[in-house]
Structure formats: C-alpha cells, structure tokens
Structure 1
Amino acid sequence: MIRIVFSLAFFLYAFVLQAQVSSTYSISFENAVHHEATINATFTNLKEDEATFAMSRSSPGRYALHEFAKNVYNVKVTDGKGNELSPTRPDPYSWRVKGHDGTIMVSYTLFANHGDGTYAQIDETHAHLNLPATFIYVPELEAQEIEVTFEVREDLNWKIATQLKHQKENTYYAKDFQYFMDSPVEIANFRTRAFKVEDQTITFVLHDDAASDAQLDAYFEKVKKVVLEQMQVFGELPNFDYGEYIFLACYMPNATGDGMEHRNSTSIPSSRSLSKGGLELNIGTVAHEFFHIWNVERLRPKSLEPFDFSRANMSGDLWFAEGFTSYYDDLSLVRSGIISREKYIQGLVRTFNYVWTSPARQFFTPIEMSYQAPFVDAARSVDATNRENTFISYYSYGSMLGLALDLSLRERNLSLDDYMTMVWKAYGRTEIPYTVEDLHESLNTYAGKEFGDHFFNNYVYKSGMPDYETVMEPMGMTLITKNDIEFGASVRNQRLVSNAKMGSSAYEAGFQKGDKILKIGAITMDGQASINAVLSTFKVDDKIPVVYERFGSEHENMLTISTAISYDMKLIETDEKKLTNKIKANRSGWLNSKIQ
C-alpha cells in the first residue's frame, strides 16, 4: 500500500514538474516613442549545464529567414539568485551561459518599428507584436508552459487582444512554445465587435483611429458575411482552442499592409483606414486569412509540421495551401454579395494573364514554385533576380488551378467545395498533416482515378495549362485570346523598370532593366506616351531603330515589332438564347451564396 501511494505521489510530482510554467515573460513600453520595449524573461527547470537562449529566425506563415535577433540589444543575464552571468555568442541569433542554478533571468531591449504580420511595431499608438520578432526563448523548454505579462500604457488607454489564454489581469498563458509563437498580440486603444456561431465567438478587434463607429459596424457586417459564407464550404467551423477566433485589424497609417494566419486569430494590418477606402478594399485580406483556419492551420502540409523557428521552412504544397485559399477568398466575396460578378471576373482575368502568359512555367512546376517561398516571401536580398521570367506566385498559380479544378469538377456534377470538405474531414478535422500524394489520392477517390491522375500528372507534377475554354463554356463564360502588339517590359517615365520578358520584342532586341527609351523610329519619347501605344502605330514584323540610354551613353538597337498573347473572360449576361436554364443553374451553383 505504501509503495502504491509512493508511486502515485511520484507520478503526480513528475506530472506537475513536466507541466509547470518554465518560461515567464514581462514586457513594458516606457520608451514606446522611440520604438523600444523592455523585456524580462525567467527560464526555470533548466537541465543542461550550458543554457542556450535564442531569437527566432522565421515566423509561422512566412517561409524566409528574418533574423529577428538584429533588433535585440542591452542583454543582461543572471542566475535565479541574481548573480550576474556572462553570455557567449555561438552564432548571430543565440546566446549561451554556464554556471546557472537551474534558472536564468534575461533582460533585454527590443527595437520594433515595422507593423506587418511578421515583425513588430512599438510606438505611442500601439504595441503590435508578432511574438517570434519579440521574445527570446530557450529551446530546451519548448514543450513546457509559458506565461507572459503585458505592462500596458494606461496613460494611452491601451488594452490587450490575443488568442493566448487569459489568466488574470494582464497575464496570459500558452501551453507550449509552438502555440506561444503562433499568437500575435495587438495592444492599443481599440474597439471590438463580436457575434456567436453556435457556441463559439468570432471577435473583430479594430485599431483605426480615423474610422467612425458607423463605419466599423458596416465593415463588421461584411466580416460576418465572409465568416458565414466560408463556413458553408466545410459545413462547420473548427473547434477553436478557447472557444474564440479573433481578427486583429490594425488599420493605421504607420502599419504595413499584410495578412497573417494563426490558429485561432489573424493579424491583418493595413495603412488604409476604413474611412479612406478600407471599407471596400480591406475585406479581401479578411476573406483570405479566415479561410486559412481550415486550409493551412488545421488542414496542414506535413512539410510544415512542426514549424522550425531556427531555419527557413520549405513546402511544395503552397500552391494548395495558399493558392486554393486565394481562389476561395474572392469566391466567398462574390457568393456573399460583397463584390459583383463583374468585379470577380475582372479579378480572375488579371490573375489568369499573370499566370498563363508567364515564361516561368518552363522552369518550375507548381510544386517547385512553392519551393521558392524562402526566397520570395518577404525575403530580402541586395542582388538582382530574374523573377519576372522564372517565378509565378504560388498564390496566383494555385488559385488558377483551383478555378480549373472547380469548373472541371462541376462539368461532372461535382464541385471543389465537396472535394475540400472531403479533404477537411480526412486531414483537417483530424489534424493529420497531409502530403501532395494524399491530395492526389483524395481527388482520385472523389472524382475517379482517371480524372485525378490527369489533373495531378498534367497540372501539378507538370506545368500544363488546363483547357479553360471547355470548362468555362457550361458556366456561360467565354475565354477570349488576344494578340496585341507588346514591348515586353514595364516602362515608367521612359525607363525599363522590369527585366524584359523572355521571347518578347524587348528581350530579343537586348533591352535591359534600367535602359531609358529616347526615340522609337522618328518618334521622340517624352515620358507621356505609352510605349505600347507608340509601337502599335507600326506593323507586326516591322524593324524599327530604337535609341536608348544605358549607363549614361546613347545606343541604338533594332526592335522587331511583335505581339504577345493575353486573355479576357466574358460572362454571357443578355443573350437569352445562349444563357440557358442549364447555364444559369451551373453558374448559380458556382457563384451564388451557399447559405440556405
């Protein structure tokens, strides 16, 4: 009996030891006017003789390296009794200390002045915090619990909004390091609106000093429409960990436009106030980020699990994770009546032309385009790249594949909605990370092996272009192919501001980014006329001398006038003979609201 009691006591002790809070933070903002925060961290239950603490190098939802340690300074370390310890620096983003007593206490200053979804911004309007950019951590303690106390500026009427679990007063809790780092925080004098969906709460937090309450109310109605419409795709909301989902909208002039998904919240900063166009223009980010609560946050690529904060994270599944989400953001807006069908089609045309006229498909498949994320997703470099010719955004590429798959399925009396629901039930609701092979097999199961193999083998594993003309026809939509005279590079004030597109007139003539066009034939360029308009005064295959300036010297090249393919889409709206009841029903199933 004594042995049983002792064993039970030991088990309970071990459980408490394992589950205890081992990382405790406090953060204050006395010097917010100069974008500084003071952070004190206490790490206990350390077992290794040499303790390591570090700043993250990457952030959830971003795939490039960001090296957040560059904004950390004034670092001081003591043991649990206050004895000073001298840290060493094994690399640019971590510190090591010996001689501790199982506890280390670290204080440091953080500089933060970039208010997007990846970094942090501190000033007298708010503390906009992405936690990987804010807090050091001890890798040894990643599995253990965390508490953080925010010492808010009461003189500025600041309040706290975050998906972290509220403990008491200004103290919040995370069950582990992964959840902690995935939890953005907005501290400001904000306003809130909320509504219930069954037993869960959707909260909209707005930091926008210029917007009126009436504008907030009008915008919140749009947010509600997005939430309820997207819910119809999957038939349910996920179970939020603490019964609440929070939109952290910071629409302030000092913010930087962005959207970043998190498990039970999203950070959606923009410099555009609701009172200055945001009422119409900001809702697209809301739609994109909310769809991520299913697709990415729970329906999650295996390649991103677990997220590694010490390196760049690469995934070949972003064409689906980000691209299909991009397909559904505008689709949910047109279904909910927030945008018109005409505006929706205009958006499709822009993306369609970007994807299918790019020379980049000869170099990379959609999977390989996804692999490029660490180089393009808010990554910074000083050397020039050739992205105009070698890269198509996996957001755009994936959204066009989503369109093709949806319309192809609807031709078979199926839909992408039902396919997404099937994948959700298998891998999202169960939170079993998927592979591209799982997506492929799921499509085979849903639509048949021949159909699924054809789609993946031609358009995912390869870079083929689907037969849009055929799948658009049952929707009463026509795809128009145009061949207009085109220079092949973006020109602003006579100067090339992009690399010439491979195969274009500009490329074949040898023009480079930075060249200034002075004269085309006998026409002197003055910066007012469009270069394509000038070229359109000639005939295809005409060879025209072009005078240009490069590195301060004048040169002349011969330019052969040529055309480039572009596309347009039209919905049949007025021709009753062509707009049959079948087409109306097909289009209704695609673009109409799913809310009964």
Structure 2
Amino acid sequence: MKPIRYTIVPKQPAAHLFEVTVTVADPDPAGQRFMLPVWIPGSYMVREFARNIVTLRATNEAGRKVRIEKTDKHTWQAAPVKGALTLRYEVYAWDLSVRAAHLDDTTGFFNGTSVFLSPLGHEEAQCLVDIQKPDGAAYRDWRVATALPEARGTKRYGFGEYRAQNYDELIDHPVTLGEFALASFKAHGVPHDIVIAGRVIGLDMARLSADLKRICETQIELFEPKSKKAPMDRYVFMTQAVADGYGGLEHRASTALICNRGDLPVEGRDAPTEGYRTYLGLCSHEYFHTWNVKRIKPAVFAPYDLSVENYTSLLWLFEGFTSYYDDLILVRSGLISQDDYFGLLGKVVGGVQRGSGRLKQTVAESSFDAWVKYYRQDENAPNAIVSYYTKGSLVALAFDLTIRAQTDNRKSLDDVMRLLWQRFGRDFYRGKPVGVEESEIEAIFAEATGVQLGELFAEAVHGTRDLPLDSLLAPFGVTLAPELEKNGKPSLGARVRGGADCTLAAVHDGSAAQKAGLSAGDVLIALDGLRVTGSNLDSLLSRYLPGAKVEVHAFRRDELRTAQVKLDGPDVARYKLAVSDKRPAARKARERWLAS
C-alpha cells in the first residue's frame, strides 16, 4: 500500500483557515471515499469536526477536476480516476481548546482529527505530512512542536515533512505552530520537551522542568519498577497559556494542555501557588494516560471507530483511576506535602457529596452515558449524574485502601495497574491490539492482589450508596469529616453563576430554593427588600439564622416572581482528612500508601 501524502499550511491566519491537501496514489477503483472523525479520543462527545471544512475540491494527477460528493455528514466520495487523486480543502480553525484546531496571526494548533481526512481502506498505509510555514515576515520566527517523527531531513522543531506509520498514529500527535518557550529534560533517559505557547512573564522553565521530571520518573517507576523503561522514545508537554482556561488531552507520546498563564511558575518565587499545584496535577493526569487509556484500553477502543460513539462502562477505571493517581503522584514525588494531598482529596470528596446525582447514577452508568450526559451537562446535572472522574477516583481510593489493609500493605492498586500494563498495554502498538473486557476487571484485581473485592466492587461500580471511606481510612490513622461553612451561614441550596447579576446556575434537590419554587436561570434581585448581586449574596445570608424565612424577589425570563424561602442550614464547605493515629502501625501503613 502506497503512502498517503498530506500537506497543511496556515494559509490565512487572520481568517483562521488552514489549507490541507491529501493525495492518494492508488485510490479505490470504484471511487475513493474519505472520512473525517466525528470525535477525538479522550473526549467522549460527538463534535462534528467536518462542519469546519469550508471548501473542498478533488483533482486527478493531471490537475483536472474530479467529481466529489458528500454522502453523509462526515464522508465524501470521489468519482473513479486513473492514477493519483488529490483533495484540497480549507478548514476553519477558531477553537482555542485542546480538542480541535485554532489559528490566528500569533499561534496555531491542530489535532489530526480536525484537519486530516482519512482515505477509507487506506487506514494502515504510512502517512507523510508536510507542515508548511505561513507566508510573510511576521511568521519568520515560527516553529513546529509535535511528537511526530521527522522525515526527509526535517530538523526538530522545523517546518517540513513528518511521518506516521498509519492514520491512527497520525491523528495521535497534536501540533503547535508559532513562537513558544522551550525546555527539555530526561526522565530515566527518555527526552521530554516542554512547550509553552502564549505570553507568560518571568516563566521559570528550570523549575517546571525539574518538577515534571520528578512526576515522570515516579510514574515510569510505578509501571516498570525494575527496568524503569518509558513506553515512548520521546514525549512533549505542550501548553497554551491563556487568561482563563483549563484542560488537557492525552496522546500516545504527548499531551495538549491549556492553563491560566498565572498558574505557571515565576522566576524568583519559591513558594508554589495553588494554581501551579493544579497545573502540575493536570500534567500528572495526562502523563498517566500514556499508560492508562493510550495503551491499556477498553476492548471497544481497540481500535477506535471514529465515525460513531464507542460505548464503554469502564471510564471510571480509565479516567477515575487516572484522577486518583494524578495527585497521589505529586505527594509520592515530593512535590506536595501529606497535608496538601489530604486537602486535595477532601475537595474531591466534597465535590462528589454535594451532588445528589451520586445517589441516582452509578459510575458504570456514568461511563456509558458520557456521550450524552457528562459532556452535555445542563443545570440539572448535579441532581442527575455523577462524575466518573471524581467518583471514579474515590472508587480507586476505596479499592487501594482495602487491598492494602487486607494484605498488610504487601499489595496495592499499583499491582493492579502493573498487571493491566503487562497484559494489555506494554505491547499494544507492537502487535494486534487487545483491550480490556468489562467482564474481566474484577478477576484481574483478584489475580494481581489476592484480594476478592466482592461486595465492595459491586457496590462501588454498580451501586449508588456512598463509599465507606471513613472506615477504610481508619487503619491508616486518618479521619474524614465534613466541615461546615464558616460562621454558620445558612444556604439557599443553589449554586450562583458569577457576574454582576445573582443568577442561579443550579438548584439542588430538596433544597430551600427548590422547595420555594426557584429554578436555575432565575435572577435574584432582592432578599427581604434588599438588592441582591452576585457579590453580596453571602453577606446578606450571613445575617440570618438557619431556618429563617426570607422573601425573595426574582425574575424568570421577564416575569417578576415572589418566593418565600425557608433557609437551609450551612453548606458543607469541604471534607477534611486529618491524621488521628500516630502509633507506629498506623504511621507505617500511611507512609506506605503515600510513598509507594
């Protein structure tokens, strides 16, 4: 099978247009079909990337026009031709996120799923892509950042030709274009690059490199404690720094990240900020995916079908367990303290407990319904769904503590991850890919640890009762308890959207607001005749006692409403984990949990 050749050029940065060509040397004699993915792996929502294709035409090798027609929302079919077939098309790129494509006169970014049409029937052919520089002196200093291997003498970070073994590899390497800060380090001998695009004043790349090195080496040692061998030959962290943003998307040898520029470390400031710890946790999360989901996969992802939704009930393991390990790796690598970790864990517990959706949806159901619920949340989401990320991380915690307690810390969740890696992940890209079947997960836990999780597994994964975290933490000398809002301030039982107006973003089940007939979207304008804004609601509520009755005036659309609200007691601000037992046995168990 002959290689598929692509070119991509930022043709009109000010108009946010990439121009892409794809040439098939040996098209289907019956008429070549092309498809653009409708979703990107790691983000489980149909996004219809084909809607951003603005123009498209086909030509034969003589340059003559070939008839091509669209057969469905993301598929095109060309008329039969002799010789090579080329498609030339424009892609509108104005999505500043980690999921799609973005282009202006300062920077460019794209995922292959947004820009590279796949010639159907040629998915296993080698792909060569020529990444070209935009015209003009303003782009003289632009460079290319990607984990794609260079081809034909292309220099690293230079424009030119890159290669991929097949289409799946091509679309698993995002690309950043423009001017960016760059640093490198080695983690157990493997080169890792850090790319920061966007304006950041006083960026401390030395500190970032040192901290990420510790994270990467800790994770490599978790999966390969003897060989300390990373699963890739090179890795790239690429971050877009913006005024307000957060997110990441994993790839087999890189990750695309977006963060607030203020969260990045500043030279001369030793104390890490909360924002920087959050950013490190994000990096840790996406790096852990190098093993868990990029190589250890659910069976339905081996391979992906990018034309339709791929349903699995295992995202609680692939995303939830990754969410458990992301912060745990920070404390294991010495980047945060035990108290810092307990604080982060308490926030997760509080976030899960605040939503009554946890009592209605299991993490298995949440995983399966990600396509229509988790990624399409509305104002009723806290009352209807549970996050397979956060609840999944608590499931991982419950399993880890149980295994450790029953084996006197001889076995742990680490052993489960290592078995999954050895059986499903280590050779994933070397032979026929094999994914994890949903029916074999519980048995894998027992095989790796000797512990039968039984009822705990059934309830944690397929039930809706709260996890018994307080009793599971007790053998490690740790207590878990709710902490109420300071000053005993009463509550409406609603979440308020930020802004000048006091708009209800969500109303919780059984809350004072719901009982009084208030709904998400209502704009509160007065409490007992005093004006309410987005910034003074807490102050006004603090003057009442729980159970007090308050007259609330609000607008629903353009209609004024009056409600009599009986205020709830104080909200739980967070859950606090604290060391309660400092005796040697508890201390040893706690140290083993947080250190290995």
- Tell me the TM-score normalized by structure 1: 0.87
Partner of 2:317: 320
Aligned residue identity for 2:512? S
For residues 92 and 524 of structure 2, the distance between their equivalents in structure 1, rounded to whole angstroms, comes to 44
> 1: CA distance between counterparts of 2:370 and 2:524?
34
Asked if 1 retains the 8 angstrom alpha-carbon contact of 2:8 and 2:21, the reply is: yes
Rounded Cα–Cα distance in structure 2 between residues aligned with 1:377 and 1:157: 41
Q: Deviations over 1:379-411 (max 9, x none)?
A: 59xxx5521211222111111111222222222
Q: Is the 8 A contact 2:496 2:506 kept in 1?
A: no
Aligned-residue CA RMSD in angstroms? 2.7
Q: Secondary structure at the match of 1:319?
A: helix
Partner letter of residue 587 of structure 1?
A: R
Residues of 2 paired with 1:129 and 1:90: CA distance?
25
Q: Structure 1 residue 453: deviation in Å?
A: 1.3
Change (3 A) 1:252 1:149: farther
**2:492 corresponding residue in structure 1:** 487
1:372 to 349, 369, 383: 369
Please tell me whether residue 338 in structure 1 is matched to residue 344 in structure 2: no
Alignment of 1:29-428 (within 5 A): 29-153=10-134, 155-168=139-152, 169=154, 170-212=160-202, 215-236=204-225, 240=231, 243-252=233-242, 257-272=246-261, 274=264, 279-375=276-372, 386-412=380-406, 413=408, 414-428=411-425
Per the alignment, residue 15 of structure 1 pairs with none
| Cα separation, 2, equivalents of 1:272 and 1:222 | 17
**1:107, distance to aligned residue in structure 2 (A):** 0.9
Whether 1:586 aligns to 2:565 is: no
AA in 2 matched with 1:185:
V
Deviation at 1:473, TM superposition (A): 1.8
Question: Per the alignment, do residues 532 and 392 of structure 1 end up closer, same or farther by CA in structure 2, a change over 3 Å counting?
Answer: farther
Partner SS state of residue 150, structure 2: strand
Q: Which residue of 2 aligns with 1:4?
A: none
Distance in structure 1 (CA, Å) of the matches to 2:389 and 2:96: 22
Match of 2:544 among 537, 550, 553: 537
Tell me what 1:445 maps to: 447
Where does residue 270 of structure 2 map in the other structure?
Answer: none
User: Are 1:559 and 2:565 matched, yes or no?
Assistant: yes
Once the two structures are TM-superposed, the CA of residue 74 in structure 1 deviates from its matched residue by 2.6
CA shift, 1:211, in A, is 4.7
Any unmatched runs of 5+ in structure 1?
1-17
Gaps of 5+ in 2: 155-159, 267-272, 429-433
**Letter matched to residue 32 of structure 1:** P
How far did 1:495 drift? Answer: 3.1
Classify the secondary structure of the residue corresponding to 1:308: coil
Rounded to whole Å, the distance in 2 between the matches of 1:211 and 1:558 is 51
User: Contact conserved, 1:42 with 1:103, CA < 8 A, in 2?
Assistant: yes
Alpha-carbon separation, structure 2, partners of 1:156 and 1:392: 49
- Take 1:351 and 1:251, find their aligned partners in 2: how far apart are those partners? 25
Greater mean deviation of Cα atoms: 524-533 or 88-97? 524-533
Kept in 1, the 8 Å contact 2:110–2:176? The answer is yes
Q: Distance in 1 between matches of 2:72 and 2:320?
A: 36
Cα-to-partner distance string for 1:148-198 (whole Å, 9 max, x where unaligned): 011124843222222222112211111111111111112233343333344
Query: Could you tell which deviates more after superposition, 143-152 or 163-172?
Result: 163-172
Residue matched to 1:508? 515
In structure 2, what residue type is equivalent to 1:328?
Answer: Y
Alpha-carbon distance change, 190 to 531 in structure 1, aligned in 2, over 3 angstroms: closer
Shift of 1:337: 2.3
Partner of residue 269, structure 2: none
Look up the match of 1:13.
Answer: none
The structure with the largest alpha-carbon Rg is 1
For residues 521-562 of structure 1, the C-alpha deviation after alignment (integer angstroms, 9 at most, x for no partner) is 57664655435862772344x555434333333333333333
TM-superposed CA distance for 1:281, in Å, is 4.3
Contact 1:481–1:565, Cα closer than 8 Å, also in 2: no
Q: What TM-score, normalized to structure 2?
A: 0.87
Q: How many residues get paired?
A: 562
Amino acid paired to 1:397: K
Instruction: Report if the CA contact (8 A) 2:359-2:465 is conserved.
Output: no
Change (3 A) 1:110 1:547: closer
SS in 1 for 2:96: coil
Secondary structure at the aligned position of 2:552 is classed as strand
